[in-house]
Structure 1
């Protein structure tokens, strides 16, 4: 078996809480580049209420951990319905979050987790997997490009000084 092959399984409650804390911290950090930290926190809270109203039991959403061939948990991910589904062609899923634990980075696990996610949604009848990435996340952009993802839209902005 490929040493970077991963198996996906549903998160435990403790894993969900840890993943949520990490996702919130990272999301606020990224959004605070473009707005106040208070507004960033509010947007993150509102997003969680909108997309995961029932937490890990929200219908249509899969909150998963990735385990290596050796049984180590190497990362986690959140897959759900494409929020742009009305404009997408085919049946589309959305990768809301993917996280490779720090000690497993740069070892092929990001690609393995993406491949496992793609297999999972394909088995569920999905023909497209979309995601969003912050423009300065060079490592993530390189990973997605190396796995065949292309830019489908781009939003640009500039902070203006008065």
Structure 2
């Protein structure tokens, strides 16, 4: 089995991650039809800054780098130990991603397990996340890892001849 451990990101890794996650989150929100493209990246940066007011030092946030057995980076994760909607003892996975060149080797599952272990050690009894419906690989991974759908958000375009993916 592939082994991944997690450690706190370094300040340099954090800075790179902040730029990347804002871009990626903005793209997802625009694709889901939630945001307009104009200003989306800045909106993502602003939302992240509200959640991480002290950056890496923000209390009750785990900002993690996944590394393999050789201590080589394989991915990243961001876990809030306080659920954004107040669920007691439930951590929230804001972000998880395997580096693109390292995908397809079982590292996603191993990183998810390492993140779950980190959240468990920090006192969480459950871990919750959101996944966009069009992210089929992630949905399959979470399902096979024992995650259950607890809510589902659906959308239908009312414009004639237009079909949109449901946001989830």
What TM-score, normalized to structure 1? 0.90
CA deviation string 1:36-71 (max 9, x = no partner): 112533431331122111111111111110110122
Q: 1:64 to 1:109 in 2, by over 3 A?
A: same
Matching of residues 87-102 of structure 1 within 5 Å: 88=87, 90-102=88-100
1:13-162 superposed matches below 5 A = 13-33=11-31, 34=33, 35-80=35-80, 81-85=82-86, 88=87, 90-161=88-159
2-side partners of 1:158 and 1:51: how far apart?
31
In the aligned structure 2, how far is the partner of 1:158 from the partner of 1:57? Answer: 41
Aligned partner of residue 151 in structure 1, secondary structure: coil
DSSP-derived class of the 1:27 partner:
helix
**Distance in 2 between the 1:20 and 1:94 partners?**
18
1:124 positional shift: 1.9
* Pairs aligned (count): 157
Aligned to 2:165: none
The CA distance in 1 between the partners of 2:157 and 2:20, in whole Å, is: 27
Q: State the Cα deviation string for residues 97-150 of structure 1 (Å, max 9, x = none).
A: 001001111111111111111111112221110011111001110111111111
Would you say the 8 A contact 2:90–2:124 is kept in 1?
Answer: yes
RCO comparison, higher one (Cα < 8 Å, 6+): 1
TM-score (norm 2): 0.87
Matched, 1:10 2:11: no
Secondary structure of the structure 1 residue equivalent to 2:127: strand
Give the aligned CA root-mean-square deviation in angstroms: 1.5
